[in-house]
Amino acid sequence: MSTEPEMVRSSHVFPHGFAFIDGDYRPISEAKISILDWGFLRSDATYDVVHVWQRRFFRLDRHLDRFFNSVDRLHMTLPFNRQRLTDVLMECVRRSGLDDAYVEMICTRGVSPTFSRDPREAENTFIAFAIPFGWIASEEQRERGLNISISDIPRIPPQSVDPTVKNYHWLDFIAGLYGAYENDAENVVLVDLDGNISEGPGFNLFVVKEGRATTPASGVLEGITRITALELCAELNVEASLGEVSVEMAKEADEIFITSTAGGIIPVSRIDGNAVGDGAVGPVTQHLTSLYWQKHSDPDWSTPMD
């Protein structure tokens, strides 16, 4: 009888999609990185996500601006320029055959040829992929509003990790999510070191009081959908500002909504177990959501697949 350990087959089911890695295109199931890549070993990476809706990239220029800035801030380099990156993203979507897609671009520190611990010696890795569009909330949650909790776990402070450089440092979010689930909530928002609202896993938060919207000014990712919501507020003549958002402001808000590339503008109907306002999706959130999706066909806001 053989004493060799039995091989265990992976049960992973990969979504339909295509990736670009090592200078070549391949199905998602065949896209792999080295286990020695610092992006995997040390979360030493940056990324950005843009979505495609009905074969149009939404706010692609904004996402590219942020991605190139993040790569530069981390002293990394990309193997090609902005136009070539755009071509790669479009080709991933084209090969996937998707009309609505979640498109991610990643730059990791990579691997040092000598396995040095000096990050300057690492050869950076670029990856891109397109998979079916994914929502941060289900259809039922989007209709009635999310039930979220406020965690007392502080977000990693900006003095340690710059939140404006999109990153994968999510252990504080994950801990917060488990706490939310234990309290029968569906998602979580963390606080900063002063106890004020910061952000949630993959989203920014807005509170609305007497028709005026406020979102945290600092210590958060400057989300593209956050910027979009501020611009849409101006178009709708809704007063909106960046400022300090206390826990009390959130609990006394008439409306709360979150913003994310993975779903746009999404209402919050309960916070820490209590109804937000009257518990229904409010008028400001409704108007913003409607205008947000209208903008997806606007050539000033979207880029068609070539």
pLDDT per residue over 61-114, tens digit each?
999 999 999 999 999 999 999 999 999 999 999 999 999 999 999 999 999 999
Give residue 5's pLDDT: 45
Q: Decide if 205 contacts 269 (C-beta within 8 A).
A: no
Is the pLDDT score of 213 beyond 70?
A: yes
202: tokens are 């993959």
Whole-angstrom Cα distance, residue 169 to residue 141? 26
Is the pLDDT score of 2 beyond 90?
A: no
Model pLDDT for residues 142-191, shown as the tens digit of each residue: 999 999 999 999 999 999 999 999 999 999 999 999 999 999 999 999 99
Q: Decide if 135 contacts 54 (C-beta within 8 A).
A: no
Strand partners, 260: 264
Q: Decide if 71 contacts 46 (C-beta within 8 A).
A: yes
pLDDT band at 7 (very low <50, low <70, confident <90, very high): very low
At the second CATH level, the architecture of 139-297 is: Alpha-Beta Barrel (3.20)
Give residue 13's pLDDT: 84
Whole-angstrom Cα distance, residue 305 to residue 202? 26
CATH classification code of 18-132:
3.30.470.10
pLDDT band at 8 (very low <50, low <70, confident <90, very high): very low
Give residue 4's pLDDT: 46
Give residue 123's pLDDT: 96
List Cβ<8 Å contacts ≥24 apart for 270-273: 270/145, 270/146, 270/147, 270/148, 270/185, 271/147, 271/148, 271/149, 271/150, 272/149, 272/150, 272/183, 272/185, 273/149, 273/183, 273/184, 273/185
254: tokens are 């008439």
Helix (H, G, I), strand (E, B) or coil at 220: coil
Q: C-alpha distances in angstroms, 52 versus 55, 59, 60, 131, 147?
A: 6, 9, 9, 10, 27
Query: Looking at residues 203-223, what average pLDDT do you find?
Result: 97
225: tokens are 């959908």
pLDDT band at 288 (very low <50, low <70, confident <90, very high): very high
Q: Decide if 126 contacts 107 (C-beta within 8 A).
A: yes
Query: Looking at residues 108-135, what average pLDDT do you find?
Result: 96
Quick one: what percent of the chain has pLDDT higher than 90?
95
Q: Which part of the chain has CATH 3.30.470.10? A: 18-132
